[in-house]
Amino acid sequence: MSDALTGALASELIKLRSLRSTWITALIAVSFGLALSLMDVSHTANNWPRLNASAKAQFDPVGDSLSGFAFAVLAFGVLGVVAASGEYASGLIRTTLTATPRRAVAYAAKTLVTGGLALVLGELAAFVSFCSGQAVLAGRHLDVGLGQPGVLRAVSCAGLYLFVVTMVGYGLGAVIRHTAGAIATVFALVYLGYGAAKAVEGWSYLPSKLMLSNAANTLGQVHAHALHPERIPSIPFALFDLALYLALAVACGAWRFTRDA
- Judged by DSSP in three states, 223 sits in coil
Interacting residues of 23 by C-beta distance below 8 A, sequence separation 6+? none
- CA 113, 255, 12 angle in degrees (round to 5)? 20
pLDDT of residue 203: 66
| Confidence category of residue 171, pLDDT binned at 50, 70, 90 | very high
Q: Which of 210, 207, 186, 187 is nearest to 198 (CA)?
A: 207
- % of the chain residues with pLDDT over 70: 91
Q: Which residue has the higher pLDDT, 217 or 205?
A: 217
Residue 86: predicted pLDDT: 82
Q: Sorting pLDDT into bands at 50, 70 and 90, what band is 16?
A: confident
Instruction: Compute the distance between CA of residue 44 and CA of residue 21 in angstroms, rounded to an integer.
Output: 35
Are 151 and 64 spatial neighbours (Cβ–Cβ below 8 Å)? no
* 196: pLDDT strictly greater than 80: no
* Tens digits of residue pLDDT in 209-238: 888 888 888 888 887 655 566 677 888 999
Angle at 226 (CA atoms; ends 149, 57), nearest 5 degrees = 60
pLDDT digits (tens, 9 = 90+) for 85-124: 888 877 778 888 888 888 899 899 999 999 999 999 999 9
Q: For residue 222, give the DSSP letter.
A: S
pLDDT at 100: 82
Length of the chain: 261
Name the H helices within 177-209: 179-187, 193-199, 206-209
Give the span between the Cα atoms of 229 and 217, in whole angstroms: 11
What radius of gyration do the chain's Cα atoms show? 20
**What does the domain layout of the chain look like in residue ranges?**
3-257
CB of 77 closer than 8 Å to CB of 190: yes
Residue 27 has pLDDT above 90, yes or no: no
Name the residue with higher pLDDT: 193 or 27.
27
Nearest to 115 by CA among 158, 166, 157: 166
Confidence of residue 245 (pLDDT cuts 50, 70, 90): very high
pLDDT of residue 224: 61
Which one of 33-37, 153-157, 222-226 scores highest in mean pLDDT?
A: 153-157
Alpha carbon distance 220, 129 (integer Å)? 12
pLDDT of 163: 95
Give the long-range contacts of residues 225-230, CB within 8 A, separation 24 or more: 225/58, 225/60, 230/205
Average the pLDDT over 33-49 and give the result. Answer: 87
pLDDT band per the 50, 70, 90 thresholds, residue 157: very high
Q: Please check whether residue 219 is in contact with residue 154, taking contact to mean a CB–CB distance below 8 angstroms.
A: yes
Q: What are phi and psi of 141, to 5 degrees?
A: 60, 40
- Tell me: pLDDT of 253 over 80: yes
Mean pLDDT of the chain: 85
CB atoms within 10 A of CB 123: 18
pLDDT at residue 197 is higher than 80: no
User: In the predicted model, what is the mean pLDDT of residues 61-82?
Assistant: 87
- In this predicted structure, the answer to whether residue 254 has a pLDDT above a threshold of 70 is yes
CA quadruple 88, 92, 94, 100: dihedral sign: negative
Whether 170 has a pLDDT exceeding 60, the answer reads yes
The count of other CB atoms within 10 Å of the CB of residue 48 is 16
